[in-house]
A and B are shown apart, each in its own frame.
Chain A
Amino acid sequence: MSRRVVITGMGTVNPLAHDVEGTWRALLECKSGISKTELFDASTFPSTFSAQVKDFDLSRHVDNAERHATAGRHCGFAIAAAVQAWKQAGLADCDRLDAERLGLYLGSGEGSLDFDNFTSLLVDAWSENQVDTREWAELALDRMDLWREIEQDSNMVVAHLAAEFGVRGPAFNVLTACAASTQAMGEAAMQIRYGDAEVIITGGAHSMIHPYGVTGFNRLTALSTRNDEIESSSRPFDLTRDGFVLGEGASVLILEDYDFAVARGADIFAEIIGFGSSADAFRITDQDPAGDGAADSMRAALEDAGLEPADIDYVSAHGTGTQQNDQVETKAIKQVFGDLAYKVPVSSAKSMLGHLIAAAGATELITCVLALRDQVLPPTTNYHTPDPVCDLDYVPNEPRQAKLDIVMSNSFGFGGQNDTLIITHPS
């Protein structure tokens, strides 16, 4: 019998709140984290709004914020979220934790480019319809800052958290696009099951609310452009959905070997009992329209957990609000659940949080843990016009009491990498 894996701490910084309970309250009050983009002048972009983290100040979360002075925006979020999770887990006072048995497994995104310097170089070194690399190098080596550059490497968030908590165990970062933090949590759970570590700090962080991030997604026509109805722009599963809303944030969970957690008297919030990973292997631009890849991921998680679809009481959907995702995910749920698909409630917290990209899955798993705790389903807001091809129970517009024992959370990445987690009560 392999080791059991439990969640003993959680933390988050997201567009709704800078802590777990505040986030949960906002979700149950159907608040929207979406507003006009203020991080840069997006007024002429096809999408002028986003789900931004507001008024973030790392020094309110840590005593030694200056130690992390070089951290990029998403890295600051991650440090704050991790400190919350660490405190909740009570690990600061745990003297039986061997640093070599403490790991990190994050799904963190890249840091944002030094936009002004980077872009002005493309203008200043532009010559005869190409970059004069000779001139570019001269200017770049003079203008670019070591730390701004290095903090863009996606493993630097791991480095900051390792410093904060004295980690000497396995330390990974993965970046499977929008599935990254779900993948990270799943792989971290596998490491604990295997015995690589007793405790792993896991989750994800990302901010793509910068000119090139919005450019990239706007060019892919993936974002909502409902500029005149900003607050209700994120409409997962609704017929009028027109794309996802770009968000940012970080969520961190403490995963722990069950026996270790029990021995130290830790509070256990949930147990991870199933993980599935798959690939669509279809196209880089489109999901497999039949939903096979997404279904494979859910089936793999069920198999890992030794469960049947009938055991699942709730599905926290990837539910981005793009025409394609919501249609494909609905099909995939039907493939896996058969007739039961119409009975199992499915909702998308992205209707309120926006899409936190690499950080989405971890943030959504936290909502699953709280749903289990409070026996209540977070709703899909902005759901008003049913789509004939998306005909499941999406928990529209208001939270709902429900008897929940086992819940499933999906994340699907651009390019076709899919991940699913299944969690249950601590009991």
Chain B
Amino acid sequence: MIQFKNVSKVYPNGTQALDDVNITIEKGEFVFIVGASGAGKSTFLKLIMKEEQPSSGTIYINGINTTDMKRRKVPYLRRTMGIVFQDFRLIDKMTVFDNVAFAMRVIGARPRAVKKRVHYILGLVGLKDKAQSRPAELSGGEQQRVSLARALVNNPSLIIADEPTGNIDPEMSFEIIELLNEINKQGTTIIVVTHEHDLVQKFKNRVIEIQGGRVISDTGAPSEKAEIPIEISKEQLAEIPEEIAEEIPDVSEEELNREALEAITDGEAAEE
């Protein structure tokens, strides 16, 4: 769950990016954040990622007040999130596999777990056969799917996508949002920042509009979202084809995130 309570942000140059914002996003929601350039959308995301500090107000992520969070604990907070950027931010000299694996390696994952998990995630985003390709050899849509795979690989409970369709054609944009919808159905909270109103209207998701740093409209969560199962049941697992099931790392989301959550909540004992 993400909660903004009376959050304002004024940059050192005097720009008021957010003004007394109050937003609550429940676990498992899919939310579009819309607004014109300079409306405060990016600042909203930066505050969630703890790249910026609010000038006033309080922010809660998964029940933890991140406003006064110590710097050394921020990496552990970020491990519970996956970020998708408009410009993909893929490393050209690395293969698709290594770009995705990079996110696991830098948090100290074991090589065996990396290999297994990355292949599984690439299969999930439909890029299994492109594992050894370089980003430059892929289309814009494919590159964004690699970026999405990298965001997903550490099994985050929240995906933040900053203008994920900004650099790809409309058809691919639809596919990317569709893919995010599928991920959302597994219980992952999704926040998509976009200024493409047409795309937003095609999907029946919650839409929050920001203008001049203030929330000017919020459609609220569609009622059916509340019924979305957060965890995969044993029955659902049984329906997964055997060849795919074998490749799913036998690590649950809770297990993957346990270390990160412990580090955030347990204080000094879990520090690096």
Q: Is the A/B pair a real complex? A: no
Binding site for A on B (CB under 8 A): none
Binding site for B on A (CB under 8 A): none
